[in-house]
């Protein structure tokens, strides 16, 4: 492999998209209103589409002749590098939307920065995905505001979701030698800058929603190294079911 750091970087992004897309797909047919069934399947579809492009790029960088499906379906749990946030269970609609909001608010500035990457394939994926992500962020932000500034119950549920998910947000900005190598070559953005943009969005939306940031700094990490929460195994059991039960077949 010629560019192992870039491969790992792209794989992390692909896994974030896939796992969140998988989670959103669980909502199908069970949304609070029909319009949200449409919105959530649509966002899931966008994320799966992004995952396909990113896995294609990762497979090309790896150079072993793998397909996007090999990467998406045929790894062991500790080889998935998504952040813990995206694998967390859907919970109620507030939990799903807050998870989405924290992620969208991270992805938007990340894609904006990656549009300028000298790695042209990654820049092209970022450009296409940015358009989708702007809509996702608009959608999730609007729901956070509606729930926060809606009824007493919705406010409480939204705040509970923030309080629960907050511990997983720091990992969005996790950096290690993979990032440092690519940053040194100015191929990817420094996550501190993305974090500043993220925090600005989070503060603005939560303030309009009359919701508050938790004061504790309790944080969980591990996903980027393949150390997941207990939820991940079940998610993968469903995701991989067909590929594991019927190996080496075309579908």
Partner 1 sequence: MTLAEQEKRFQEKIDNEIKIEPNDWMPDAYRQTLIRQISQHAHSEVVGMLPEGNWITRAPNLRRKAVLLAKVQDEAGHGLYLYSATETLGADREQTIDDLHSGKAKYSSIFNYPALTWADIGAIGWLVDGAAIMNQVALCRTSYGPYARAMVKICKEESFHQRQGYESLMVLCNGTPQQKAMAQDALNRFWWPALMMFGPNDAESTHSEQSINWKIKRFTNDELRQSFVDATVPQAEILGLTIPDPNLKWNEERGHYDFSEINWDEFWQVVKGNGPCNKERIEARVKAKQNGLWVREAANAYAKKRAMKKSA
Nearer to partner 1, 9 or 143 (CB): 143
Task: Determine if 90 is a binding residue for partner 1 (CB under 8 A).
Answer: no
CA pair distance 49, 21, nearest whole angstrom:
9
Q: Which residue has the tokens 């150390």?
A: 227
Burial of 176 (0-12, 13-18, 19+ CB in 10 A): exposed
Contacts of 178 (CB under 8 A, 6+ apart): 5, 8, 9, 12
Q: For the residues of 26-66, what is the DSSP string, one character each?
A: TTTT--SSHHHHHHHHHHHHHHHHHHHHHHHHHHHHHTS--
Task: Determine if 250 is a binding residue for partner 1 (CB under 8 A).
Answer: yes
Nearer to partner 1, 185 or 241 (CB): 241
Of these, 149, 163, 199, 221, which contacts partner 1 (CB under 8 A)?
A: 149
Q: Report in angstroms how near the CB of residue 53 gets to partner 1 at its nearest.
A: 10
Nearer to partner 1, 55 or 198 (CB): 55
Is 147 in contact with 94 (CB distance < 8 Å)?
Answer: yes
Which one, of 150, 166, 191, lies nearest residue 102 by Cα? 166
Task: Determine if 61 is a binding residue for partner 1 (CB under 8 A).
Answer: no
Q: Please choose, out of 19-27, 117-125, 195-203, 216-224, the segment that lies near partner 1 by the rule CB under 8 A.
A: 19-27
Residues between 109 and 148 that touch partner 1 (CB under 8 A): 145-147
Is 228 in contact with 77 (CB distance < 8 Å)?
Answer: yes
Of these, 7, 8, 22, 198, which contacts partner 1 (CB under 8 A)?
A: 22
CA pair distance 62, 226, nearest whole angstrom:
18
Q: Report in angstroms how near the CB of residue 197 gets to partner 1 at its nearest.
A: 26
Task: Determine if 65 is a binding residue for partner 1 (CB under 8 A).
Answer: no
Residue 150 DSSP code: S
Burial of 29 (0-12, 13-18, 19+ CB in 10 A): exposed
Q: Report in angstroms how near the CB of residue 152 gets to partner 1 at its nearest.
A: 9
Residues between 188 and 247 that touch partner 1 (CB under 8 A): 238-239, 241-243, 246
Q: Which residues bind partner 1 (CB under 8 A)?
A: 18, 22, 25-26, 28-38, 41-42, 44-45, 48-49, 51-52, 55, 68-69, 72-73, 92-93, 145-147, 149-151, 153-154, 157, 238-239, 241-243, 246, 249-251
């Amino acid at each position: 492999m010629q560019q192992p750091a870039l491969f790992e970087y792209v794989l992390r992004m692909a896994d974030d998209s896939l796992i969140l897309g998988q989670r959103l797909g669980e909502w199908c047919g069970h949304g609070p209103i029909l319009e949200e069934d449409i919105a959530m399947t649509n966002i899931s579809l966008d994320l799966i589409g992004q995952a396909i492009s990113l896995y294609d790029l990762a497979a090309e960088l790896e150079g072993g002749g793998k397909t996007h499906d090999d990467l998406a379906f045929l790894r062991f749990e500790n080889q998935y590098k998504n952040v813990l946030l995206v694998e967390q269970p859907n919970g109620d609609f507030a939990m799903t939307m807050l998870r989405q909001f924290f992620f969208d608010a991270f992805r938007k500035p990340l894609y904006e920065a990656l549009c300028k990457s000298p790695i042209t394939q990654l820049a092209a994926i970022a450009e296409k995905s940015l358009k989708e992500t702007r809509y996702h962020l608009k959608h999730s932000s609007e729901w956070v505001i509606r729930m926060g500034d809606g009824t007493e119950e919705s406010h409480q549920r939204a705040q509970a979701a923030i309080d629960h998910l907050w511990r997983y947000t720091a990992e969005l900005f996790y950096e290690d030698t993979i990032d440092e190598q690519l940053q040194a070559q100015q191929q990817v953005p420094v996550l501190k800058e993305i974090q500043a943009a993220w925090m600005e969005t989070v503060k603005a939306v939560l303030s309009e929603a009359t919701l508050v940031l938790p004061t504790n700094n309790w944080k969980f990490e591990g996903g980027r190294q393949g150390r997941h929460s207990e939820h991940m195994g079940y998610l993968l059991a469903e995701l991989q079911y067909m590929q594991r039960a019927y190996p080496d077949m075309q579908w």
